[in-house]
């Protein structure tokens, strides 16, 4: 039997809405992405991974993103995405070593003034229809240790609660507080890579949804193609326009979900052959 992996990358609340829309559109077109043997989520993708394996129908998950009446309360970060991009680009220019850069990001995450950790935890909890790891699906969520810069992949057997794991994967440095799990504080898995697709190396079919650019993704796809086939879905022109310049802005959820749905529906015919 062909081993299949679904990889969901990071991209803020816009990315959550777009990925949910794409998956709902694919489902409406006959492509069951939940049949994946593994679902790997990073940041926004961690939220989506937990949502789509909660047992709620895909149509309902889509409505929760597209209908403002059904949307949970999201905090506004108060952080300029443009300034954040400049900050991280500066880190990349100063540090040729990625391990050092990740540690620097951890220092930033720990020093930043943000909302209190319990407040952010409550927002993450409100996003998830269920707070238990799914029993009938294998999901893995990526976060990064603020002290060492090393990544951690959380799963059902990790002994870590699902809400904590999703919150850790979504803890953007300088925007949201690091998440305390045991004696360790974790930050966004996107610090390692926005997609982390290389973590599913060995699967024969890999479907990647990447809401944002990731400079490491091309090399990761090369690695994956050594053992299987890969399909990459990025926002098309309509979806990119709907998501706008600030992926953390809750106002873009409805247009991002709707554009993602249309994109997923349009891709269903081609991807059904690949996925099956």
Q: Which two tokens stand for residue 38?
A: 């593994």
Q: Report how far residue 131's alpha carbon sits from residue 160's, in angstroms, rounded to the nearest whole number.
A: 11
Catalytic residue positions?
43, 188
Terminal C-alpha separation, the chain: 11
In the block, which residue shows the tokens 């993708």?
45
């Amino acid at each position: 039997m062909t081993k299949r992996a679904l990889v969901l990358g990071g991209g803020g609340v816009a990315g959550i809405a777009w990925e949910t829309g794409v998956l709902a559109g694919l489902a409406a077109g006959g492509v069951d992405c939940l049949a994946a043997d593994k679902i790997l989520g990073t940041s926004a993708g961690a939220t989506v991974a937990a949502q789509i394996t909660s047992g709620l129908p895909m149509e309902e998950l889509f409505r929760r993103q597209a209908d403002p009446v059904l949307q949970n309360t999201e905090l506004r970060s108060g952080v300029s995405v443009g300034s954040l991009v400049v900050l991280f680009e500066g880190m990349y220019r100063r540090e040729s070593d990625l391990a050092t850069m990740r540690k620097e990001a951890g220092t930033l995450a720990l020093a930043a003034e943000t909302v209190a950790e319990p407040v952010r935890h409550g927002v993450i909890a409100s996003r998830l229809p269920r707070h238990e790891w799914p029993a009938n699906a294998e999901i893995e969520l990526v976060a990064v240790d603020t002290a060492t810069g090393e990544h951690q992949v959380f799963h059902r057997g990790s002994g870590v609660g699902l809400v904590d794991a999703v919150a850790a994967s979504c803890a953007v440095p300088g925007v949201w507080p690091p998440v305390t799990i045991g004696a360790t504080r974790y930050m966004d898995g996107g610090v390692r890579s926005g997609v982390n697709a290389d973590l599913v190396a060995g699967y024969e079919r890999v479907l990647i949804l990447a809401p944002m650019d990731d400079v490491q993704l091309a090399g990761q796809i090369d690695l994956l193609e050594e053992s299987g086939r890969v399909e990459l879905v990025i926002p098309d022109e309509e979806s990119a326009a709907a998501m706008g310049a600030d992926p953390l802005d809750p106002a873009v959820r409805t247009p991002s979900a709707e554009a993602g749905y249309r994109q997923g529906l349009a891709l269903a015919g081609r991807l059904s052959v690949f996925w099956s």
